[in-house]
A and B are shown apart, each in its own frame.
Chain A
Amino acid sequence: MNSISRLAALISLASLFPLSAMAADAKGTVEVVHWWTSGGEKAAVDVLRAQVEKDGFTWKDGAVAGGGGATAMTVLKSRAVAGNPPGVAQIKGPDIQEWASTGLLDTDVLKTVSKEEKWDSLLDKKVSDTVKYDGDYVAVPVNIHRVNWLWINPEVFKKAGIEKAPTTLEEFYAAGDKLKAAGFIPLAHGGQPWQDSTVFEAVVLSVMGADGYKKALVDLDNAALTGPEMVKSLTELKKVATYMDADGKGQDWNLEAAKVINGKAGMQIMGDWAKSEWTAAKKVAGKDYECVAFPGTDKAFTYNIDSLAVFKQKDAGTAAGQQDIAKVVLGENFQKVFSINKGSIPVRNDMLADMGKYGFDSCAQTAAKDFLADAKTGGLQPSMAHNMATTLAVQGAFFDVVTNFINDPKADPADAAKKLGAAIKSAK
């Protein structure tokens, strides 16, 4: 055998390697692209997968983590351009509308299942609106996160001589001063853009109220974005920032959460997924740690809803699988297991009204109660930092301005408000 034929043999051998295995199955295959990959999340997804497989469908897992779904978005776009989008993909908030407007999402496949399962009465209108396009369901909501939480280590508070959890910004500052004086890090905070904006929106909600929050961060009203209330919010934000962990810039939130858990820091502002860290450290809600609404936002609830959208498929057999997934996702069992694992609350109103029955802890129970109450008063608002309120372009503009403002020691609130208005205008 000479070298050329040897090379040729190598090439032909190479092409013999199995291509992606085509599974022959009874009921059809559904590929699911999602970014739930960490321990608890993965366990929760496995529950869904097991049920769907039990129902006779083949689940093709397309887990893609990174940047809160940013990497998954790249994959989805490439797949869309290639003409073979997955059957189901984790897409959330206004992105659902953008995807639907391209005509790639399936507006029919969920029609019967949503009627049979009475989604309209099961879900709050804010939730169902998020996953509908032109009145048709194009996605199924999975769970609800509350973002405006303040996590407290009560033992550290006791050591610093703080009586109770702060309920106003003034009390928050007072608590921060006491923590500082006692040698603790007052506020654990990882200064990544999304974390900075999580604090920003909490402060805006506290200062401007739910209405002001909606005007500025949801409706993107220029007057609200650049007005005196926003300047005040930014001034307060700067003050909140003085209590932040100096070592936290650019760090993962987990590392910062660990500082609160280990008693090095007193508080952290983070969504309810932070609970997973406390649970992993074997701490109990209400005893080892406290969760309270961010000071001044107890009558409001910023939400972050995960959802799974359905894409139009060439293979008609996939529709049954998509419907099955939708049905399982809204089933009681999955709703319970998933939310307990993720720290969130279910999307079903009937479950939210009776949380104790399903074994949710005190934090989740408070969240559910507040969700139902705030849904009636208008205190229920989409989170900007977790792309529930705006397009990604606008969100990016917020991130850039807010992060720069927090990191720049000479930043001026009035100036930043102006910049905010300009940046949002250009990104819209």
Chain B
Amino acid sequence: MTSLANKPALSLSRVAIYAVLIVAVFIYLVPLVVMLLTSFKSPEDIGSGNLLSWPTEVTAIGWIKAWATVKGYFWNSFLITVPAVLISTTIGALNGYVLSMWRFRGSQLFFGLLLFGCFLPFQTVLLPASFTLGKMGLASTTTGLVFVHVVYGLAFTTLFFRNYYVSIPDALVKAARLDGAGFFTIFRRIILPMSTPIIMVCLIWQFTQIWNDFLFGVVFSSGDSQPITVALNNLVNTSTGVKEYNVDMAAAMIAGLPTLLVYVVAGKYFVRGLTAGAVKG
């Protein structure tokens, strides 16, 4: 009661705001709850009950089966995602730095070309990219797949960093230049220490994108080095086989777990990073 003074009064409009927010929470949660419930049901249970009915018998068989199928691919996804995220973020940071602080004739044009590149449907690049990778001797290797992820992640990482760095006052860099500091010195001493928020945004974004990618993964990897999304698809997407929805749902949850964790744990950095300037066009 004593703290009431600090808080806005509990008016009708505030009740309405809370109501809307809470209803929205439920709506956003429903699919997750349904998936969780389904993953713990037995196949007969799924056929008879409704979406939100409690499992008549909670069984982890779906999870056990799903894990047995996809566990080998879990690690593959890390081997692909971690280097691809780090490399594309590094290059994006350098590109953004050049595009915002060291503009030269044509650099704006390049930025425009890059922006348009964001909209390229990736299905169009599958064949020519395969051809290129084949010529480079990287076809169906993890290195090749990482390379492709780096290339098509560049547009967004560069965009993030460029937009963030644009908001840093020029004066800072100009002063350093007058002191004789070089290109990399300025980046290292001045820019990089200020970049933590946007690095977080970029890492989270790239991690989600690359971890969740299916198309590149299925085309540019092979056999035992396939990422988990391919394994998930193999489980969920059979056309002439028996479907075990509890296994499907459990596998989908397992495949989504790392990205979910990233959002739950690092979500606040994400919003903080966006606040720090990533969205300032």
Contact = CB atoms under 8 A, between A and B. Distances in A.
Any A–B CB pair closer than 8 Å: yes
Interface of A: 2-4, 7, 10-11, 14-15, 17-21, 31, 35-41, 60-68, 71, 74-75, 77-79, 81-84, 86, 194, 252-255, 258, 262, 271, 273, 276-277, 280, 342
The range of chain B's interface size is 35 or more
Interface in B128-151: 130-131, 133-135, 139-143, 146
Contacts, number: 143
Interface string B166-196: 0000000000000000001001100011000
A10 B91 CA distance: 12
A18 B83 CA distance: 11
Interface of B: 43, 47-48, 79, 82-83, 86-87, 90, 126-127, 130-131, 133-135, 139-143, 146, 184, 187-188, 192-193, 218-226, 230, 233-244
Contact of A82 (B140, B142, B143, B230): B140
8 contacts: A3-B192, A19-B141, A31-B223, A40-B241, A62-B222, A86-B222, A273-B240, A280-B43
5 closest A-B pairs (Cβ-Cβ)? A38-B241, A82-B134, A14-B83, A82-B139, A38-B238
Contacts of A4: 184, 187-188
Given A17-B83, A67-B239, 9 more contacts: A17-B82, A17-B142, A60-B222, A65-B239, A74-B218, A82-B140, A83-B135, A258-B47, A280-B242
A19 B143 contact: yes
B240 A68 contact: yes
Most chain A CB inside 10 Å of its own CB: which residue of B184, B192, B242: B242
A158 to B, nearest CB: 22
A66 B242 contact: no
Contacts of A61: 223-224
A221 to B, nearest CB: 30
A48 to B, nearest CB: 15
B127 A77 contact: yes
A20 B188 contact: no
A7 to B, nearest CB: 5
B142 A7 contact: no
Given A39-B242, A74-B219, A63 B140 contact: no
Contacts of A74: 126, 218-219
Contacts of B43: 280
B240 A271 contact: yes
A78 B130 contact: yes
B87 A78 contact: no
A20 B130 CA distance: 17
Nearest to A276: B242
B76 to A, nearest CB: 10
A14 B219 contact: no
B127 to A, nearest CB: 5
A79 B233 contact: no
A10 B199 CA distance: 14
B240 A7 contact: no
A81 B134 contact: yes
A79 B239 contact: no
B240 A20 contact: no
Nearest to B230: A64
Nearest to A39: B242
A28 to B, nearest CB: 15
B241 to A, nearest CB: 2
B154 to A, nearest CB: 15
Contacts of B243: 38, 252, 254-255
Most chain A CB inside 10 Å of its own CB: which residue of B47, B184, B236: B47
A258 B242 CA distance: 10
Contact of B90 (A10, A39, A68): A10
Contacts of B48: 262
Contacts of B192: 3
A276 B241 contact: yes
B242 A78 contact: no
Contacts of B222: 20, 31, 60, 62, 79, 86
A352 to B, nearest CB: 21
B142 A20 contact: yes
Given A60-B223, A81-B127, A65 B237 contact: yes
B234 A37 contact: yes
Contacts of B188: 2-4
Contacts of A71: 218, 233, 237
B230 to A, nearest CB: 7
Nearest to A59: B223
A65 B240 CA distance: 10
Contact of A20 (B127, B141, B187): B141
Contacts of A252: 243
Nearest to B215: A74
A331 to B, nearest CB: 23
Contacts of A66: 233, 237, 239
A2 B190 CA distance: 13
Contacts of B226: 62
A34 B127 CA distance: 20
A273 to B, nearest CB: 4
Given A20-B142, A75-B218, A60 B224 contact: yes
A68 B239 CA distance: 6
A11 B193 CA distance: 19
A393 B62 CA distance: 38
B244 A82 contact: no
A18 B139 contact: no
A61 B221 CA distance: 12
Contacts of B234: 35, 37, 63-65
Contacts of A82: 130-131, 133-134, 139-140
